[in-house]
Amino acid sequence: MEIAAIPSHDRQVVQGYATGGFRVSDREWWGPVIVFPTRTMAWSVETLSDLDLAAFAPVGQASDPPIELLIIGTGRKMALLPSRLRADLRAMGCGIEVMDTGAACRTYNILIGEERRVAAALLPLE
């Protein structure tokens, strides 16, 4: 799915997503990614069942100033995270929102356009 997002020279923008990967700021990424305001990185998870607090360690170490909102894209359909994991993520000091990956990409782009300190942890469509 293409997203009408114009790449920014100083901010990462999600331009598209599909089965298996993403296009972020004119670069193709295969597999899960975490998109930060100024960089994108491969994310070392494969499925929802791999999500634990350690999987989100890069977000806690991400930037100065810290991320204020983490958007989690769960693939083709929205899925709930275990309540313990949600509590642990909130304890990291940022808000969390969980949604399907398409909605997560669009929401991230809107918020980054508003200069918000947001990151998106995205699982690709399967």
* Residue 9 forms part of a structural domain: no
Task: Determine, yes or no, domain membership for 18.
Answer: yes
**pLDDT (0 to 100) of residue 53:** 92
Q: What pLDDT is attached to residue 4?
A: 56
Under 8 Å CB-to-CB from 65, ≥6 apart: which residues?
Answer: 117
> What distance in Å separates the CA atoms of residue 86 and residue 102, rounded to the nearest whole number?
21
Assess whether pLDDT exceeds 60 at residue 91: yes
- Please give the Cα distance from 126 to 116 (Å, whole number): 29
Answer whether residue 5 is part of any domain.
no
Alpha helix positions (H), the chain:
57-60, 83-91, 101-113
> Once rounded to an integer, what is the mean pLDDT over residues 44-65?
85
pLDDT band for 126, please (50, 70, 90 cuts). confident
Residues spanned by the domain of 72? 14-122
Residue 115 lies in a domain: yes
Structural domain count of the chain: 1
In a domain, 2, yes or no: no
**Domain of residue 77, CATH code:** 3.40.1230.10
Residue 19 lies in a domain: yes
Query: The pTM is what?
Result: 0.90
Q: What is the pLDDT of residue 65?
A: 75
Question: How far is the C-alpha of 40 from the C-alpha of 122, rounded, in Å?
Answer: 11
pLDDT at 60: 81
pLDDT over 80 at 8, yes or no:
no
